[in-house]
Amino acid sequence: MEHEITGGAILVKDDALLPRELYFESEPCVPGWKVVTDLTALALDREIQKTGWTFFCFAGQTTTSAFGIDRTKMVRKAIEAILARTVSTLWRS
């Protein structure tokens, strides 16, 4: 089942390199990404720190437009567009 993405959701790239000791539950959300379902950002940060790694939160406002009849599909399409734009911007920096 696809998890509903809301404000504050934590998205992790499917192929992200993570410490072996880090465990969290997740569900697929948009192609190439999963959403963390059992931890808040603060709780995930604590778990990551236990492994000796650091949590980086990419926060900020970004917008896009999507049209459609099915609200869920429309939101996912908008998120896919934002993620594609954000990831390509990060790699160019």
pTM higher than 0.75: no
CA atoms of 72 and 40, how far apart (whole Å): 22
Sheet holding 11-13, edge to edge: 11-13, 33-36, 26-28
Confidence of residue 2 (pLDDT cuts 50, 70, 90): low
* pLDDT per residue as tens digits for the range 28-82: 988 888 999 999 988 998 999 999 988 766 666 777 778 888 877 888 788 888 8
List C-alpha distances in Å: 61 to 30, 33, 43, 72. 19, 19, 23, 21
Residue 15: which H helix or E strand, with range? none
* pLDDT per residue as tens digits for the range 21-37: 999 999 998 888 899 99
